[in-house]
Structure 1
Amino acid sequence: MEAKTVLITGISKGIGKELASAFSKNGWNICGCYKNNSPDYTVPNSKFIKADISKYDEVKKFIKSSICEFRKIDCVINNASVAERATIFRMTDEMWERVIKTNLNGTFYIIKEALREMIKQRNGSIINIASISAFKSYVGTAGYSASKSGIISLTRTAAREAGRFGITVNAVLPGFHFTNMGVNAGDAYIEKVKRKSVLNVTTDIKELANFILFLADVKTVSGQIFNFDSRIA
């Protein structure tokens, strides 16, 4: 059987790196993109491409390169994300636009170009990495929260439009986990997260990657938002 191919944005570190490892161990081809820092690791049957997803032309080149390398796209994971922490009255235009262009515009561009290929195949899955910040208000996260909320709406609309072609579109909300952002949160915040968890734990990033791997192959679920966490509001 021909190996499946997954496209992963933001592949250099954190969730992207863990996803590359999980999918590769399960026999998938990996095509990932990064903006600045190239990955410091390798996995079998992979191609890493420098691309800024906030720029539509670079997204089109990334998708084209993926098709040239692996001939098809079975799954797309929109993982790349940036954050600018500032209150609304202190947030500059540049800070706002950087977050919206990368998180929301970039996700839209990837979905649009990937769907062109998946519609030809009449098959495929798209998984968007969103955030609980789409539903909860935190001081200093206006741009990030707005972008992630937009991704939720984009996920549901794309699911309706792509469903007739046999393509699934879902979103996952990762819980608090120890990636580059997480380790800088501070002990007090980490303890607060644990207290809100019914299991008194933070999210295991390997379990998160394996859940996304499972979701990539599910054919009868679409338009859903999965909160991968153990905190109860």
Structure 2
Amino acid sequence: MPSTAIEKDLVGKVALVTGGSRGIGRACCIALACEDCAIAVNYVRSEKDAEDVVAALRGMGVKARSFQADISKEDQTNVMIEQIMKEFGRVDVLVNNAGITQDKSFRKMTRDLWHKVLVVNLDGAFNVTSGVLDQMCERGWGRIINMTSIVAQMGNFGQSNYAVAKGGLIGFTKALAREVAAKGVTVNAVAPGFIETDMTASVPAETLELVKKLTPMGRLGKPEEVARAVRFLSAPQASFITGQVININGGMYM
């Protein structure tokens, strides 16, 4: 009789998800664990949120551990990568999800707010990717998924710093994809629209209603809908997809 067991695509693989303790990052951890992938959960502030995710992942039967680090700081990132390598021995899938917003109209934007957003969103991706890329290339297999944003593509009032940072991630994605394609490493970006997370929870209700009206599907997205794209891009079936930006925005930007 044919086997009824469902083959998992990422058995034996290890994923590092930055900003993995809540929102889209948490959903990415759960989605990758569905493929029997071991998960390293990076967080910067809430140990409780991170441990809640780890408990959920372990409940799914996968190896998981949380790692605290401010990825915008090279020294902290290097220590984290060293700990992950000691614990898991490798990183096969990197989800550069961690990011922040500091919104102000440009005429009121301070240099500090400008710089803070660029450092976390861009330097963070540089620091973590630098720490894991060589071992991916040496093994001839790797998946890097950068979390960008619809704001990088269409702009948004009060988010010039965020648009620059997330637009930079798109450029980084395409350039790095060309550099490592022959090494068996794919690099792609996922660009969410407005998603139901802590970040959008702080947006005024009237603004969210306007967002829904501007979205052909008439609603905000869910973190799980973003995570499904990350799950697919991480799988062997996505081996011929690289340098691409996958839009998940309900049709708000086409």
TM-score, structure 1 length as denominator?
Answer: 0.94
RMSD over aligned CA atoms reads: 1.6
Which of 73-82 and 93-102 deviates more?
93-102
Amino acid corresponding to residue 188 of structure 1 in structure 2? E
Q: For residue 2 of structure 1, report the CA deviation from its aligned partner.
A: 5.2
Q: Deviations over 1:108-139 (max 9, x none)?
A: 11122221111111110000000111122222
SS in 2 for 1:135: helix
Segment drifting more, 94-103 vs 149-158 = 94-103
Residue in 2 aligned with 1:163? Answer: 181
Whole-angstrom distance in 2 between the partners of 1:92 and 1:67 = 38
**13, 17, 20: which one pairs with 2:29?**
20
Secondary structure of the residue that 2:154 maps to in structure 1? coil
- Aligned residue among 70, 73, 88 for 1:52: 70
How many angstroms apart in 2 are the aligned matches of 1:95 and 1:198? 32
Give the share of equivalent positions with the same residue, in percent: 30
Equivalent residue, structure 1, for 2:240: 220
Alignment partner, residue 5 of structure 1: 14
Match of 2:121 in 1: 103
Match of 1:146 in 2: 164
* Superposed displacement of residue 50, structure 1: 0.8
- 2:239 aligned partner, one-letter code: K
CA distance in 1, matches of 2:194, 2:106: 24
- Aligned residue among 109, 130, 139 for 1:112: 130
Q: Which runs of 5+ in 1 are unaligned?
A: none
In 1, Cα distance between the equivalents of 2:112 and 2:220?
33
Q: Which runs of 5+ in 2 are unaligned?
A: 1-9
Which residue identity is paired with 1:229?
A: N
TM-score, normalised on structure 2?
0.87
Question: C-alpha distance in 1, partners of 2:15/2:244?
Answer: 20
Paired with 1:70 and 1:184, the residues of 2 have a C-alpha distance of 36
Whole-angstrom distance in 2 between the partners of 1:95 and 1:200:
32
